Amino acid sequence: MDIEQKQAELIDHFVNQASTLKASAIWPLIIEATSHPSLFAFSEILSTPTVSELEGTENSLCLDVLRLFAHGTWSDYKSNAGRLPQLVPDQVLKLKQLTVLTLAEMNKVLPYDQLMQELDVANVRELEDFLINECMYAGIVRGKLDQLRRCFEVQFAAGRDLRPGQLGNMLETLSNWLATSDNLLVSIQEKIKWADSTSELDKKHQKDVEDRVEEVKKSLFLKKLHTVSRQTLTSEGMRRSALNLVE
- Backbone dihedral region for residue 165 (phi beyond 0: left; psi -120 to 50: alpha; all else: beta): left
Q: Angle 88-39-46 (CA atoms, 0-180°, nearest 5)? A: 85
Helix H or strand E encompassing 215: helix 166-246
pTM higher than 0.75 for the full model? no
Q: For 25-82, what is each residue's pLDDT tens digit?
A: 899 999 999 999 999 999 999 999 989 889 888 889 999 999 999 999 999 999 999 9
Q: For 169-195, what is each residue's pLDDT tens digit?
A: 656 667 777 778 878 888 888 788 788
CA neighbor of 132 nearest in space, from 122, 141, 123: 141
For helices 112-119 and 89-106, give the axis angle rounded to 10 degrees: 150
Q: For 2-23, what is each residue's pLDDT tens digit?
A: 777 888 999 999 999 999 988 8
Say how far apart CA 69 and CA 118 lie, in whole Å: 15
